[in-house]
């Protein structure tokens, strides 16, 4: 018999923003007595950190491997049949469209999907697949008003819910107790960026901007956090070549993956977002929560609403290294906030969506 308390979350087996949102939601639901199973989807060639390291106690964890489309669809169907949940939830668009193809087999199961990015960032065929499959969902979560309007063009508007990404306050507060990751006595001006080493994140724009910054500020340093094995190291190798060619090796630090980026953000002078596009960047919300000034490219409209220009950060033109450099320099003059101030409390509608 189906249990109304049983929830099934399908997530990529990594520690990206979409996956961390799912963990944060799961923690809130666990406190309300829900039973949650995570199915972690892993590519056999992926070597990054596993999402399992972030899952709270009390969550059942299973894995399936993406080894061909037909087998993958069978594994998805078998997972739903085995867990027999009241609600299925996914937060990656290429997983969403495949799960929703199974909806006709599970008419009494509620399917909730969340867009992890804008549709315009996808190739035409993938956009078409989403438009055809999203009509099967009971709920579609959009991260911003603009994303919600985009989805509402082909999904009934009453199904679309615009919800800010939740913030894992307990996790952040526990991580902020750690000491500074920077060396004692290092009085350099410290910029920190964080994310996958992917074209989307604009780290090439960032290091070019930093090259301009270091000519105008005394002894600045740039720390880039993240797994640089992503995308077969293509982005990392390109960045390393630029750093070496321009004599930046001593002041651009590729710190690798860390399970505590919050300590870096807290003790930095400025957090930098250089992305070409985002859904709604968790790292900006988290930097605001920590209280660190942000220099951010206006890669999507919501950035201008998240940052209070001249108070919580400084804005730059998208894909413009010179503009980003100016924002980084201006942001160094801003005071750190108290932390947690001005950041919205997690929206209770997140929990309401999972009620039958």
Per-residue pLDDT at 355 exceeds 90: no
pTM: 0.91
Angstrom distance (rounded) from CA 2 to CA 59: 18
Torsion of CA 212, 213, 219, 224, to 10 degrees: -100
Contact predicate 90/25, CB 8 Å: no
Mean local confidence (pLDDT), 87-100: 96
- The pLDDT of residue 293: 97
Contact predicate 93/122, CB 8 Å: yes
Mean local confidence (pLDDT), 289-309: 96
- The pLDDT of residue 342: 53
- Per DSSP (E only), the strands in 286-355 are 294-297, 313-316
Q: What is the mean pLDDT of the chain?
A: 93
Angstrom distance (rounded) from CA 316 to CA 274: 9
Angstrom distance (rounded) from CA 227 to CA 224: 10
- The pLDDT of residue 356: 64
Per-residue pLDDT at 345 exceeds 60: no
284 DSSP assignment: H
- The pLDDT of residue 1: 46
- The pLDDT of residue 73: 96
pLDDT band per the 50, 70, 90 thresholds, residue 46: low
Angstrom distance (rounded) from CA 41 to CA 72: 9
Angstrom distance (rounded) from CA 130 to CA 54: 29
pLDDT band per the 50, 70, 90 thresholds, residue 129: very high
- The pLDDT of residue 231: 73
pLDDT band per the 50, 70, 90 thresholds, residue 43: confident
31 DSSP assignment: T
- The pLDDT of residue 348: 87
In 3D space, the residue among 265, 203, 277 whose CA is nearest the CA of residue 233 turns out to be: 203
Spatial neighbors of 336 by CB under 8 A, at least 6 apart, are 291, 292, 293
A 10 A CB-CB count for 188 gives 14
Per-residue pLDDT at 331 exceeds 90: yes
Contact predicate 299/280, CB 8 Å: no
Mean local confidence (pLDDT), 241-250: 96
Residue with tokens 């106690």: 57
In 3D space, the residue among 43, 42, 25 whose CA is nearest the CA of residue 34 turns out to be: 25
Percent above pLDDT 90 for the chain: 87
Contact predicate 288/275, CB 8 Å: no
Task: Please name every residue paired with 112 in a beta bridge, in sequence order, or none if there are none.
Answer: 89, 139
Kindly report which listed range (43-57, 120-134, 251-265) carries the lowest average pLDDT score. 43-57
Contact predicate 117/249, CB 8 Å: no
Q: What is the pLDDT of residues 247-295, one digit of tens each?
A: 999 999 999 999 999 999 999 999 999 999 999 999 999 999 999 999 9
């Amino acid at each position: 018999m189906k249990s109304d308390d049983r929830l099934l979350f399908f997530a990529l087996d990594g520690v990206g923003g979409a996956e961390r949102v799912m963990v944060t939601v799961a923690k809130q639901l666990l406190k309300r007595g829900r039973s949650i199973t995570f199915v972690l989807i892993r590519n056999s060639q992926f070597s990054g950190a596993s999402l399992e390291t972030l899952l709270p106690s009390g969550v059942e964890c299973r894995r399936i491997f993406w080894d061909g489309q037909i087998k993958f669809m069978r594994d998805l169907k078998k997972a739903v049949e085995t867990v027999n949940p009241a609600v299925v939830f996914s937060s990656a668009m290429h997983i969403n469209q495949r799960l929703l193809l199974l909806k006709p087999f599970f008419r009494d199961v509620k399917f909730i999907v969340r867009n992890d990015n804008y549709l315009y960032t996808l190739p035409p065929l993938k956009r078409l697949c989403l438009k055809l499959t999203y009509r099967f969902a009971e709920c579609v979560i959009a991260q911003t008003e603009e994303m919600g309007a985009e989805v509402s063009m082909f999904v009934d508007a009453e199904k679309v819910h615009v919800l800010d990404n939740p913030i894992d306050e307990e996790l952040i507060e526990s991580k902020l107790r750690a000491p500074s990751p920077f060396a004692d006595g290092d009085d350099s001006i410290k910029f920190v960026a964080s994310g996958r080493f992917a074209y989307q994140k604009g780290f090439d724009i960032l290091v070019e901007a930093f090259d301009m910054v270091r000519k105008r500020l005394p002894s600045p340093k740039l720390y880039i956090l993240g797994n640089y094995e992503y995308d077969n190291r293509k982005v990392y190798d390109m960045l390393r070549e630029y750093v070496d060619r321009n004599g930046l090796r001593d002041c651009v630090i590729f710190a690798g993956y860390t399970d505590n980026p919050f300590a870096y953000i807290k003790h930095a002078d400025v957090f930098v977002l250089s992305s070409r596009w985002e859904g709604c960047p968790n790292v900006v919300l988290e930097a605001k929560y920590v209280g660190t000034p942000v220099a951010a490219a206006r890669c999507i409209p919501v950035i201008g609403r998240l940052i209070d220009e001249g108070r919580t950060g400084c804005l730059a033109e998208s894909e413009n290294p010179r503009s980003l450099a100016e924002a980084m320099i201006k942001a160094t003059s801003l005071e750190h906030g108290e932390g947690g101030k001005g950041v919205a409390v997690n929206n209770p509608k997140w929990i309401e969506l999972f009620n039958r």
